[in-house]
Amino acid sequence: MSIEQLTDLEELVLRCRSDGAKVHIREAVLAYKAGAFRISIVATWTAVVFDLIDKVRELAISGSPEAQIWLNDYEKHQMEFDKGNKAAIKQLLAYENDIIYSARDRFSLISNNEFIDLLRLKDDRNRCAHPTFQRIETPYYPTAEQARYHIKNSVIHVLSQPPVQGKFALDNLKKLVESSYFPVDFNAALSQLLISDLAHASDPLVRTFIDYLLYGYLNKTHVLFRQYRAIAALNGCIQMHANVAYARISKQFNKCITQIEDDIIALAVILVGYVAGLWDNISAQAQDKIKIYIANCSEAEFISIVPLSLNIAGLVDVTTSRVAGLYANSLQKIQQFHELPPCVNRAVELFSHSKNWNEANTLYHSLIGKIFPSLTNNHIETIIAAPTQNGADLPFSVGFYTFLERLIDEKRMTRDDIRNRLISQGLSHYASTLNFLNESPI
């Protein structure tokens, strides 16, 4: 065996979580180094059994009723054995024989794939430790690779892992997120999840928790329906278990989007808007359904999702196209519309097509005045040219006057610049009326 292989085994010993596990698995490694591969496999199985029993004991201490029941029965038979009751031997051997089944089926301490690896260890241990399992003339000789394989899997699957029980841990996570005190702020939510059962969760537990959060958020009868704390928890899963989380959320989202009612598709947009990286990981079919929804949903629904959909690259075009058909009262209802370029563009377009002074005044006070800091030079040029280019009835309106006055006050344009623009647009009479030809203030 190579020096590298021996070094790897020593590193595996150091990864063991408990001192007891280290003692037992070190015996297996010493036997392996001596070429006693049968003894190594037997010692490895012993380490696994002791460690799983310790994990059940920890679960019982942490409050798992199922673990407490198992532990009570196990310790009862141990007490009988200590008293010399030989009948207890059979019961204790049954516990050892069933331990990996209990770890998988009753406590969810291991996944099914991990169970398969440990079952191979158990079978090989039986062949190594029980002569009656083999013909006398053909004793069982495990290879070095087999012994090494079992040591590695035992450490990775069991000895290095904390006692995170699937069902019990899932129940704890549900209670945590269902609480109205669970934060909606991502950083605050992550802080709570980092000290929860999710911190050392197995892949199956992560996937099950994600299913619970996703379906709960989209289920009208669920306590998490429309709750932003579910989204905060989903982002926490991504932060803590990225590979498993992205794959699971994407897969389940693709299923959900085909099944949810039309009146809550807006929630799907909220999910792709707030769950980091989700849009890029869902199917083309799911993306198309969301695009169709944005193009055809009611104006009230559309207004509620514009800020989110404009932050998703794949939805910018369809959202911008829909914004281009909105009018002033709708633009005003969009949260932070003054910071969204398509909304600013639409507001400028409406103002630049004012049909009369009253409309110009209303549009300035309801839209242009509010988005003024977001206006680009092109926007300003468009508005100044609007009377000539679009026939807009802006000159002599209070709204247009106030707009020009603000350009000067906020030093966006000089008085001469405005005068020259107005003259070039054939509005020299208007410029003179506003005293732009002299240096008196507006």
Q: Which amino acid is at 344?
A: V
- Read off the pLDDT of residues 107-143 as tens digits, 9 standing for 90 and up: 878 888 899 999 999 999 988 887 655 555 567 788 9
Question: How far apart (Å, rounded) are the C-alpha atoms in residues 216 and 203?
Answer: 20
Contact status, residue 236 vs residue 186, Cβ threshold 8 Å: yes
Which one-letter DSSP state was computed for residue 231? H
E strand or H helix that includes residue 107: none
Question: How far apart (Å, rounded) are the C-alpha atoms in residues 210 and 190?
Answer: 15
pLDDT reported for residue 248: 93
pLDDT reported for residue 197: 85
pLDDT reported for residue 40: 94
Residue 264, φ and ψ in degrees, nearest 5: -125, 15
Residues lower than pLDDT 50 in the chain: 1-7, 437, 440-442
Contacts 24+ apart (CB under 8 A), 285-289: 285/254, 285/258, 286/253, 286/254, 286/257, 286/258, 287/314, 289/257, 289/258, 289/265
CB atoms within 10 A of CB 28: 30
- Read off the pLDDT of residues 37-86 as tens digits, 9 standing for 90 and up: 999 999 999 999 999 998 888 888 767 788 889 889 888 888 888 888 87
List Cβ neighbours of 18 (8 Å cut-off, separation of 6 or more). 51, 54, 159
pLDDT reported for residue 165: 57
Question: How far apart (Å, rounded) are the C-alpha atoms in residues 28 and 14?
Answer: 14
Contact status, residue 177 vs residue 224, Cβ threshold 8 Å: yes
Complete DSSP assignment for 32-88? HHTT-HHHHHHHHHHHHHHHHHHHHHHHHHTT-HHHHHHHHHHHHHHHHHHTT-THH
pTM above 0.85, yes or no: no
